Chain A
Amino acid sequence: MAAQTTSFRMMRCVSFKRPAIALCLVGSLSQVSIADEDDYLSEISIEAKKVDSELPTKGESTQNSEVGSVENAARIAFEEDLKSRYMGSYTFYLKLPRRAREEVYEEYIGGASIDEIRKKIMNRFLNQ
């Protein structure tokens, strides 16, 4: 391997003119990086096994699904939410025909905002 003297402080540095040596160095560095990543992943995996099988804060609608279907529980949760937060809108919602109520719920599930839901309820109520 060729060696050369650099200008700063007469330090002796190895010249990397040969591409093969440089490639070997890059290769070994990436091997170290992959090994580090593998170690990290295996540590994460070991740690994950320590998590309790059931978290204490598991959601309400998930627990309700034991009583009825998941879809019903979610629908009940939506109606309860509407009732507790917007009693007026809920009152109009109850007066809608079944199909219109389903339509409102589907819109909610689709991600519509609560303001959009309230407008939809009034729209359906006024255009029955």
Chain B
Amino acid sequence: MNCYINLIFRVSLLLLPLIAVAEEATDGKDLEVKLSSEKPFTHVIHEGRAVKVQRIQDPDYQLQGYYAKTARKCPPFCLQPMQVDPQVATIGEIELFDFMEGKLRDKTGLLIDARTAEWFNRGTIPGSINIPFIGLSKPGTPEMEQALLLFGVRPRGSVGAISLKLEQMGILGNEEMTEKWDFSNAKDLVLWCNGPECGQSPRAIKGLLKVGYPANKIFYYRGGMQLWQLWGLTTVVPGE
């Protein structure tokens, strides 16, 4: 009897690679509208539970409501440039899906809805946390300091005058430190707001750059909620 069990076990181990190939082939094949040619959908953890992110499957669906609007009063809701800062990368949806599956899941990155709470509460991109731009736009405020700690930035304590001078001369330390903060373990951040006409996340990004947050750890999803909606991607209402 034991001999049979052993045989079945060994055969199943041999078949594992074949099963893996078969399951890759059936990967979301029932979806007509996939996230990308390789990715039918993805899962993201939002408020401690898994949310499936996919697109609306009706190819004839047309967006209705607020995010279907073509214009808002400008100023203040003016079209934003493609780049907030020459050193900060602007990303699209595909890069955002990769971020969700990689750094966000590994907890080395954060997806930040930089809009005010009243926008966030009406619906957000799954996996996002809400840090309104107003708390990130001014250096030295308690809100900014709390946010930096959440982002994995460490306060440096007192730095000696000689060390500081050597750092300023580029002889000591590294580029990811300021007089007050150590950004060497800072998380990658993707900031977004309502879309190309929204200035909330650009303001937050500019504030972060002011306190010395490394530009290569900041990403701007310019499409924001408007393009997320336009592509029929899943949203969540916080607390529901």
A binding-site residues for B, Cβ under 8 Å: 37, 39-41, 43-45, 47-62, 65, 70-71, 73-74, 77-78, 81, 84-89, 91, 108-109, 111, 113, 122
- Residues 6-45 of B contacting A (Cβ, < 8 Å): 16, 19-20, 22-24, 26-28, 30, 41, 43, 45
Q: Are B49 and A70 in contact (CB under 8 A)?
A: yes
Give the residue of A56, A59, A89 whose beta carbon is less than 8 angstroms from that of B126: A59
* A-B interface contact total, Cβ < 8 Å: 129
Residues of B within 8 A of A59 (CB): 51-53, 126, 234-236
Residues of B within 8 A of A113 (CB): 101, 105-106
Q: Are A60 and B52 in contact (CB under 8 A)?
A: yes
Q: Are A43 and B22 in contact (CB under 8 A)?
A: no
Give the residue of B50, B64, B105 whose beta carbon is less than 8 angstroms from that of A74: B50
CB distance from B229 to the nearest CB of A (A): 6
Residue B65 at the chain A interface, CB threshold 8 Å? yes
Give the residue of A52, A57, A84, A111 whose beta carbon is less than 8 angstroms from that of B45: A111
Q: Are B52 and A55 in contact (CB under 8 A)?
A: no
With CB as the reference atom, state the residue of chain B lying closest to A61: B51
Q: Are A57 and B16 in contact (CB under 8 A)?
A: no
With CB as the reference atom, state the residue of chain A lying closest to B233: A57
CB distance from A30 to the nearest CB of B (A): 11
- Contacts known (A44-B200, A85-B28); A57 close to B232, Cβ less than 8 A: yes
CB distance from B98 to the nearest CB of A (A): 13
Q: Are B26 and A48 in contact (CB under 8 A)?
A: no
Q: Are B52 and A56 in contact (CB under 8 A)?
A: no
CB distance from A125 to the nearest CB of B (A): 9
Residue B177 at the chain A interface, CB threshold 8 Å? no
Q: How far is the CA of A61 from the CA of B50 in the complex (A)?
A: 8
Question: Interface readout for B47-71 with A: 1 if CB under 8 Å, 0 if not?
Answer: 0111111101000000111110000
Q: How far is the CA of A88 from the CA of B17 in the complex (A)?
A: 10
Q: Are A77 and B52 in contact (CB under 8 A)?
A: yes
Give the residue of A50, A85, A87, A108 whose beta carbon is less than 8 angstroms from that of B19: A87
Q: How far is the CA of A59 from the CA of B126 in the complex (A)?
A: 8
- Between-chain CB contacts (< 8 Å), 27 pairs: A43-B77, A44-B115, A44-B200, A51-B65, A51-B66, A51-B119, A52-B65, A55-B123, A55-B229, A58-B237, A59-B52, A59-B53, A60-B51, A60-B234, A61-B51, A62-B236, A70-B49, A74-B51, A77-B51, A81-B43, A81-B52, A85-B28, A87-B23, A87-B26, A88-B22, A113-B101, A113-B105
Q: How far is the CA of A56 from the CA of B234 in the complex (A)?
A: 9
Q: Are B50 and A108 in contact (CB under 8 A)?
A: yes
Residues of A within 8 A of B84 (CB): none
